[in-house]
Structure 1
């Protein structure tokens, strides 16, 4: 990437003097705009950072206006983070603002429903005049306005304790995104079939004087976006219930990529391979051809997939009229079930980390953060206006390996790369929260001192202790292979084993650390995602004037390369190395990292299968274990924000939340039993199990991190 930048700078040197002066003038204007933008970040200084009280919340909870801890951000920093778009377009803004709940005349955006799905209600502030919840934002793309999600929707937490509330910037959300999206789809469907709802809805939309001027236009748009959401929810339907505080984000990103990459020929072959339970063909050749009639050959995309889905369900002559069960069987041929939900990771220290994501899939060196964040926006509803273009030079085609293809994919999208870079830079100043003794109780320093010695012996080899005030800190990911750590393997297995049709990337070459790899037609989705994000980050913003968009892009790429102090290194830890036969072996592992602020990130383990730090130090009960022993709970409730400062985690019983069953695949609470003497250290030594007193000492020390 550095060589690419140098080549572009060389071209500028050879440019004519008038062109060079024009570029310099525009560059100066751009720098002035950026400077104004930095000042603009400080304009929203609401003293409560937009937070409001919920006197009658979901799950029987109520709380006053939340307070904030010292995390390196002031009021303006938090509000800018909450309300800065990344290019997410869930549905048109006017439709969202006017939509009623499915079985009520209350608006869908009402704070009670927002709290029901554990998102965080906000009051109107300068950056958020409509009082959208934390992480919900108005985005503009190609002259239209949309409701979208920001980083803060998934990475802002809250803890309640005895009538007080604490907001945790960068902490994991308690949200139930699949439940929220299912109810959103239900609201849209109910509006379309209920005359009074539809009439009230269209009147409210038109009264906004926004992007819609005609009633028929409103109804058509509602139908289109309801179908889009139904398709999204159907493709991502999982037999594993997520509940609160978890999401299979990678599975959903993978599926969005496959939907926008697969080509007509590949879909046609899969339609002919689809079979019923009795192994008979699901579609005749004539039906398959009819379903794909008029669909683009190179890029199918979202709209065409919606057409295909409708035709597959249609009982009109010539169409197959597939049942729900048949559609899911067909879904599994094209996509992968996102059945490995994991806890939302916390964001403090992310910019100081060498590798990120639970299985260390993403390097943080160079432009790695930009690619990672672009992939994230693909997953949270970035508009992907990818189209097939004639062969010819294109920077995105070159970087994504398509330079020799007869057609190339143009990666035009709503993804705001400049904002992604700004958000990553903003996170450099975010620090982990310190245990608030004035709210959660004093730390027993004598017990904590004993716990520190236990931590040094049992935990330090994987979880390095850092100073969160040290600007030069580096968070080293210590990888442990699946067999070594013993935790639920499904997320890591899916990241490697999930495959899909590579579309236009078939037989392109992708550069890996060990050399180039050809992408086969049926390829690991991790490979396809890498090519897609490379194409995305090398495609300037289509909403800007052509010279401005390229200067912005150059600035963004240069700052990503030269301001990123994380060096490219090999992974640390005990894991299987990549080989020519298994080029993604190293992803069959999970990452350990520094535990500063760990007290504020329950539930624990990567899949959220243990409710508290104390219970994390207990063993998993196995056959033959004594009945009167202490063990990790097999079932517990999730969803409450009320905190347990003794065990250190959220309360996990006594309310009607989501029942987390650890006996189900993806939910296993096995492994990471170092304190129980059942999991060996990195050096292969299994230490003796801790006594109960030692567990409590260690928990007390963990509060201090």
Structure 2
């Protein structure tokens, strides 16, 4: 029943909040937008912003670690040993010996010396008080989607903390895991024999792993908190062998359930596109989430459940690009004068979860675990509130940027400013993502969120017991559960977000259908198809390299052809005609003024 009540949480992936770095879009006392002029010494300013972000993370290191590295659950997920045995069982499906998860776009972060697995995989042992007593589980972390990379002209990698991992393909991970297990059981249909085949395969792989290295699993990793030495590894292997039957059986059940539930979602909302969808789209995900499709499975397995289970899945495709998550303070909702309604906020693309804690929980709970560690969401609130955006890592023509600054102020800043909670439905973009929450889903989501984190729920942060869902903005949330998700008629469209770090959000529009800012501003040149998920950068047009780049040397295998006409939800239409807001005309289509478009592009690099 708990799962049924939580069905909406996963429709809401995409925690998004922004910061304007050198040039903030603000509202003056008269209501007219203004911008802080860009610096004249770009190189000096660039280094200053790099240092500012590094200092901020250092000052908030514990919160950053929970955001980047900590598992979403202490007692649920994929057992760590099982995860690291997958490439031994099916090497043809997984990646390199150095990092088998590179095949699904999770990379080794050079800043994590000796970390035993790719960035974006959390190990429960990192956060346990008594790590020797229980088996280690893994899950994706916030960093899986929100720590990205870009390669500069010198082939140097820059990490984008709080940005977008354009390489991560969560669907490919689910599919490859399912295929690995299917390889083991083959045509066997008897559940008892299937279990025996699975146990034999994993225990045989375990013996092989141990023969390869005494530290095959943990690489003797240690930091200021944990020490995964040989004794720790030996103990984990012992615990795994003792519980191998139940651990492997549960893993098979969960993996199969995730796969079949996602297939049901594809059959409902991706007719004719199921096969391509099963390949996944790096840097993108359907906002529905695993938990919701599992709820569909649970309901569909009963007679009465079949009568309403179709309503558990949304009626529209929810696939969107991952989002940058820095500077939540610029996306923070406010209370009205009566302290009964939240206004002028925003969150994910359509802003339907205004409170940061619940917005973070939506991303965390989408994984579908039964026992969630709410410290991840609570620490993320602490980190992301003022986490600086990553500064543009290339050169800027400051004189041209100054010209663009004025054009931006006249045509863009009125909408793209902090605290603009308006949802726009008049820009001609595909609205599928904004319709994934229906009345039933909203009701279930509110109930489920509050059951997970009520006003009385306590977690430990910085050594103290706190209630992360007790209040917001200094106002008690007691009796205000209905505010967890905005009313359905208020999010059928998309927010105009502040544009800090906009260079790192490429490609553009909510569905990633426009490769560069140039193509956003000059819509008559938008390509129907382009290359997505490359790491090299188009400094002229402002976006990741969108044509084939034969010189890229890192993770080129994750790039793929994105066809905006292959599926209606991928339409690249919209934000392509001038609009009138409150009697004022704003220029969105710069096809007749390309020099103006290039000036705006140069200015946007500085945000």
Distance 1:247 1:425, change over 3 A: same
Once the two structures are TM-superposed, the CA of residue 68 in structure 1 deviates from its matched residue by 6.9
Structure 2 residue 492 is matched with structure 1 residue 588:
yes
**Helix, strand or coil at the partner of 1:616:** helix
Distance change in 2, residues 1:210/1:106 (3 Å):
farther
Counterparts of 1:26-65 in structure 2 under 5 Å?
none
Task: Give the aligned partner of residue 430 of structure 2.
Answer: 488
CA RMSD of aligned residues (A): 3.8
Change (3 A) 1:230 1:342: closer
CA distance in 2, matches of 1:136, 1:381: 15
Listed as ranges, the matches of 1:217-616 within 5 Å are: 217=246, 219-237=248-266, 239=270, 240=273, 241=277, 242-250=280-288, 252-256=290-294, 262=299, 267-271=302-306, 332=310, 335-336=313-314, 339-353=317-331, 354=333, 355-364=346-355, 369-383=356-370, 414-436=371-393, 440-441=394-395, 443-464=396-417, 475-482=418-425, 484-496=426-438, 523-538=439-454, 555-557=465-467, 561=470, 564=473, 584-616=488-520
Aligned to 1:136: 121
2:76 equivalent to 1:176: no
Q: CA deviation at 1:565?
A: 6.2
Specify the alignment match of 1:659 in structure 2.
561
Which residue does the alignment assign to 1:469?
none
Which range moves more in the overlay, 531-540 or 159-168?
Answer: 531-540
Match of 1:685 among 560, 566, 585: 585
Q: Which moved more, 1:172-181 or 1:234-243?
A: 234-243
Is the CA contact (8 Å cut-off) linking 1:121 and 1:134 kept in structure 2?
yes
1:645 to 2:544 alignment: no
1:149 is matched with which residue: 140, 145, 164? Answer: 140
Cα gap change, 1:379/1:80 in structure 2, threshold over 3 Å: closer, same or farther?
A: closer
Deviation of the 1:640 alpha carbon: 1.0
CA distance in 2, matches of 1:636, 1:202: 43
- What is the alpha-carbon distance in structure 1 between the residues aligned to residue 476 and residue 597 of structure 2? 37
Gaps of 5+ in 2: 1-48, 187-196, 211-233, 334-345, 478-482, 550-556
Query: Using CA pairs below 8 Å that are at least 6 residues apart, which structure has the higher relative contact order?
Result: 2
Cα 1:158/1:338, change in 2 over 3 Å: farther
Partner of 1:186: 179
Name 1:514's counterpart in structure 2.
none
Native 8 Å contact 2:162 2:326 kept in 1: yes
Q: Report deviation, 1:644.
A: 1.0
Give the C-alpha shift of residue 234 in structure 1: 2.9
TM-score by length of 1: 0.59
Q: Distance in 2 between matches of 1:251 and 1:639?
A: 22
Secondary structure of 2:349's counterpart equals coil
2:57 corresponds in structure 1 to 73
Q: Which position in structure 1 is the counterpart of 2:205? A: 201
Distance in 2 between residues matched to 1:252 and 1:218, nearest whole Å: 20
Unaligned runs of 5+ in 1: 1-66, 275-330, 384-413, 465-474, 497-522, 542-547, 569-577, 620-629
Q: CA deviation at 1:524?
A: 2.5
Cα displacement (A) at 1:550: 10
Q: TM-score, normalised by structure 2?
A: 0.68
Q: Is the 8 A contact 1:176 1:244 kept in 2?
A: yes
Question: Deviations along 1:214-271, whole A, 9 cap, x unmatched?
Answer: 66556534533443343344344463535121111245454345556x598xx41354
CA shift digits 1:408-464 (9 cap, x unpaired)? xxxxxx21123421221122341012223xxx22x1122111111110111011012
Report what 1:43 is aligned to: none
Taking the aligned partners of 1:180 and 1:682, their CA distance within structure 2 comes to: 47
Deviations 1:312-359 (A, max 9, x none): xxxxxxxxxxxxxxxxxxx75653477321111111112442221110
Q: 1:214 to 1:669 in 2, by over 3 A?
A: closer
Q: Name 1:165's counterpart in structure 2.
A: 157
Determine the C-alpha separation between the residues in 2 that align with 1:549 and 1:585.
34
State the alpha-carbon separation in 2 of the partners of residues 167 and 80 from structure 1.
17
Kindly tell me: are residues 70 and 687 of structure 1, through their superposed partners in 2, closer, same or farther at Cα, counting changes over 3 Å? same
> Cα distance, 1:637 vs. partner?
1.5
SS of equivalent to 1:100: helix
Deviates most, 224-233 or 155-164? 224-233
Distance (whole Å) between structure 2 residues aligned to residue 124 and residue 165 of structure 1:
11
CA shift, 1:381, in A, is 3.0
CA 1:69–1:342: 2 relative to 1, 3 Å: farther
**Distance of 2:466 and 2:208 partners within structure 1:** 40
Number of residues paired by the alignment? 470
Aligned to 1:53: none
Match of 2:525 in 1: 631
Hey, what's the Cα distance between the residues in 2 that align with 1:687 and 1:640? 30
